[in-house]
Every structure is written in structure tokens, then in C-alpha cells.
Structure 1
Amino acid sequence: MHKMPEQILLGHGSGGRLSQDLIKNIMLPAFQNQALAEMHDGARLTINGTKLAFTTDSYVVKPRFFPGGNIGKLAVCGTVNDLAVCGAQPLYLSAGFILEEGLSMAEFRQIVASMAEMAAAAGVEIVTGDTKVVEKGAVDGIYINTAGVGAMLPGVQIAANRVKPGQDIIVSGFLGDHAIAVMSERHGLTLPAQIVSDCAPLNKLIQKLLTEVPEIAMLRDPTRGGLATTLNEIAVDAGVGVMLDENLIPVRPEVQAVCALLGFDSLYLANEGKVIVFVEKELSEKVLTIMHQTETAGAACVVGTVTEKMSGQVVLKTKIGGLRLLDMLSGEQLPRIC
């Protein structure tokens, strides 16, 4: 067992091993309760017989504008998607802004307009919020916190304990686009026009999936830490192994080329418009048919299976036929990516 550092590091925000340490060693013991212990993307609650999902997230992405989106679009889509993968229909959001003195009013209007546009696209309303302004240099222009409430869909049970050996693992499309789009803007790189953030609300797609295939066992959106980190979390929580096939994993050649050039691993890159689905093999084709009918999931495919071997681990069958253990990253490939 490794020793926790004495100070907060950038890696504590990565969604990887350091993030897990922070949550399990400090936050869970302090705030322990049944809803929090599920460790999903949101809490599932029952209030006077009504089943709700509740989530919150904060956005500090640098730069604030990037190919395919901006911090406002990201904030709404991220919170909507966290509710959706809990098995809920998102309904209402809050928006809290921490603004740096000197931020351009025109830029702030553009960010707010993007939030309004994405809320309308997702069918949710931003109904409350807060604004604070801090001295120049105290934050990087603007940070946004959003919280969301949704109604649980009837008959849906999304939980790690429903992930079983033999199930297929499906991803809804190309991985790594968001992280590479943000990184290219951050470092002034020129990339092909098709490399833009995948940031998008997925609630309508997910609601259709859960309505037509309520047997789906588990859903997650592979944001910070990417596919590999998300699958590691699920494998540990479910007590199963995961076997991926590198030949099946959809990554654009341009994204893979940037990863090779700069030493990134596409399996750990953040995504903001993708969903992972765990489902019985006999239902995979039905799930894929639904996904392929949508713009956001036209490249959906099976990328691996759940196995009873290698409990708590994720293994990749490489293109040359070898096996590679995909562990959780300890640090951060790309900080402030969302």
C-alpha cells in the first residue's frame, strides 16, 4: 500500500488512484452514508416514495474555449450525463459561478448562452444558482459548479453489483476526442478539423436505451481518467475482471497519432460525450441498433467482455496478441481537462 502525500497534488483531480485515495481515506469516512457508499456518478434517493437522482460537479477546464465547446457547454452536458447514467431523467440544474475580476463580459455572455443552448437541447431547466467575484489572479477567469436533479426511470436498476461475467461491454463511439481537442487549444497545436470535443448531452439516447432495454446492468460516462480508469472502478466495485480487445476499441487515427507523438495513452483520455454500457451478450445487438440510429453514438461497438477471472482488474488483449494490464493511473496525463 502506498503512502498518501502530505499535500494536495494535481493528480488528486485526475479521477485515478490519487483521487480514489482522497475519496476513500478522507471523504467517505467523514461523510459516510448509504447513498454516498454506492460511489456512482450521482446519489440515488427516495423522498416520500419518489425516487430521485442528485449530482454535482465543478468545471475548471483550461482553456475556457476549445474546438467543439467551452466551459459552459461542458458544465451542463457533464451534469446531465451524470444523472442519465444513474438511470434518471434529468430535470433541473443549478449553476454557480466563481468569476475573476476582469473577465470579459462578452465572454461571460457567450458561456452563459452555451449553457442555455445545451439545457434546451437536453430538455432541462437551470432554475437556481449563485455568483461570486474574486480578485484578479485568484481563479483562472471562471469556474463553474453545477448540480442536477432527475427522476429515476421506472424499472431501471443501474448498479455495479449487476455486472456479471459473460456480459458485453459497449462504448458509444470514438475515444479521446475531448482531451485531445482541449490539449491542442491549450498548446496551440493545429489538428484536423474533425478533432473536436465530443461534449454532448446523452440523456435522450440513454433514456431510449433504458426504455427499450431495461435489462442494462451498468452505465458510466468515461470522463476523467478515460475508459481504463472507469472500467477499473467498476471491476473493483463489482468484483469481476474485464477483458478488452485493442482491435475493437474505436480511436481516431489522428488522436492515436497525437498520443504517440506526445506520449499519451488514449485509453486514459477524458471523454465528455460517451457512455459505457454493460449488457448481456444476447441484448448487445439490440443496444447497438438503437445507438447506431443516433448522431452521438453512430460508431458504438463492443470493446470487451466481463470475466470471472482477474477479479478487480482490467486487461487489454493487444493488437499483436499479447496481454497488458491496464491499471489506474497515479498521476494526471492532462490536468484541468474538465
Structure 2
Amino acid sequence: MTKNRFWRLDDHPQGDDFSSALSLQETELAPLQDGEIRLKADYLSMDAGTRMWMGPREDGYQPPLPMGIPMAGQALGRIVESRDDRFPVGRLVRVFGQWADYSTVRPDDSWAVLLDEDIDDPRQHFGVLGLNGWTALYGTKDILGVKEGENLVVSAAAGATGSLACQIGRNLGAKVTGIAGGPDKCRYVVEELGAERCIDYKNQDVAAELKKIDGGINAYFENVGGPILDAVLANMALFGRVAVCGMIANYESDEGVPGPKNYDQVLMRRLRIEGFLLPDVPERGPEYNALLKGWYQEGKITVPFDVTKGLENTLVAYSRMMTGKNTGKVIVDLTD
């Protein structure tokens, strides 16, 4: 029998102490059931939204994970067994599976996608062509409706989704301002992503810097929440739009947190705020993939990878993402 290592969720994490809440386990793989597929993971995706799944909150966009089960997350690899004719053995696939060497899933329950192999780096199926890329495009183009010449601000601009939203905004003709932590990240946002400016929230007064944007902020791609959101609301243009993609500042809380103190600006500036989740529009995937793939092959969009090697080091990678030590997309490399 084949052995499978996996990370088990044993308890709700306290803050960034993930090692006390998850443990690396090993078991034998069970025989495949009708309708299931099994992939051997080459890469695992570290995604901020999974932090809410680990907690006890019942008011999220999906129920919390039960204790004692394998930790859920995106996996990318090749199918090694299949009892679903749509997903043949040997094909490259991306699924919502487990933090494990092998993920066993039902394709329709795990958003399984068979992947193109005519790109130079298969990891981009977790990057430009992955759910971060699709989310950045959905939020920037469809939710915000960014137009040429508008002022677009993106928080967490050096992260996986934020870095892609910056480039998509630039490709759509917007004047992009990123918000990131530290001079190195801000340099990357301007020099590599093509933003006109970047505000270092660790060393600058964000609200004061945003006030310098001529005409105010027309569109804001929100990844953070907290004080950053307050600073943005105070500097929005009339009839501005806010697309809420993530609220990482709130994910560690086991309860709801107080709303922004500048919330009255929603009325004063007649703002439109809309939260969005990519699973609401699964049918848009092929359309998004085609546009992003074209840009990628033309050199108009990319994302770097923050790579940690080895399943046993998954929590190191996850902590890097949750504490903002990464630039770009955080992944765990399980290739030999």
C-alpha cells in the first residue's frame, strides 16, 4: 500500500502559532471509490482565505473545517488513479484537495480543472493562470470596471493577488498606486509591476500619501481591511468603487471585528462597495484563462514565486504568507 503524508487540523490556531494546531501525519491510501480521482501533488498553494477555515467562525463564506481532518487547500499535480472517465491518468490537474503528498477528491466537489501544458512554467497554474489571477481579473475588470486614466489603488500589492491586480489595472490603462510593506516590496511594485507609485505602510503615513492622488481614488482593490481601509475611504473620489477581495487583517479573529471608523464616507462620497468570490462565477474560468494566458505569453503579466521545499515545511511557507514575508505567490514544492 502507498503511504500518504498529510497535515491534520487538530485545533483552532491562536494567532500565527500554526505548529500547535496542525500536525504532520502518515497513513495508507484507501482504495479509490467510484467517481474519485487521486493526484500526486507537485505543488501546494498557500492561500490566506484558508486561515478562516481553521477558525471556529460560522459566519464565513463556508463553514469552518472540522477538527481532526486533513487540512484543505489547492494542490497541483498529475492524476495517478482515476475512477472518473473525464479525468484520465497522467493529466495535469488543479484541485481543492489536501495539504498532502496525495489528494483524493471528487472532481465536481473540488473544482478540479484539467490544465494546459503549453506554458513555460506549470507553476503559473497557481499564479497568472490560477485562481489568484482569475480573482484579480474578476475584481479589477468586472467588479471595479476599471477604465483608462482612472486612479486604482491596490493593497497587499506585492502579494499573489495584489501583484496581479496591479498589472491588470496597468494593462487596462489605469494609474496604479500600490500599498505594500517595506521599501523592497514597494520598489518591486513600481519597477516590476508597473505601478506609478507605491506607499510603504510600514514607514509612511498611508492616508497622507493617498491624499496626494490627484482627483482621488476611483477604484480600490481591497485585500487587507483594518487601518488601510480607513485610510482609503477618507481619500476616495465621488462615486468611487471598492472591490473587497480579502480582509487578511481580520482572519485571525474568532469573532467579528469593528467596522471602519471612516464608514460614513460611503455615504458622503456615494461609494459602491462589493465583496466578491471567484466560486460565484465558475463559468467565467475559460474566458479569464484565455485573456490572462495571452497577456502572459506577451510578457504583459507575471508573478514571482515564494517557494518552500518539502511537505514537512508547509507551515513555514504558510507563516511566511500570513505574516507578509513573501513577495508574490507562496507555494510548497513537492517535486523530487
Structures share a fold, TM > 0.5?
no
Q: TM-score, normalised by structure 1?
A: 0.25
Q: Tell me which protein shows more helix as a share of its residues.
A: 1
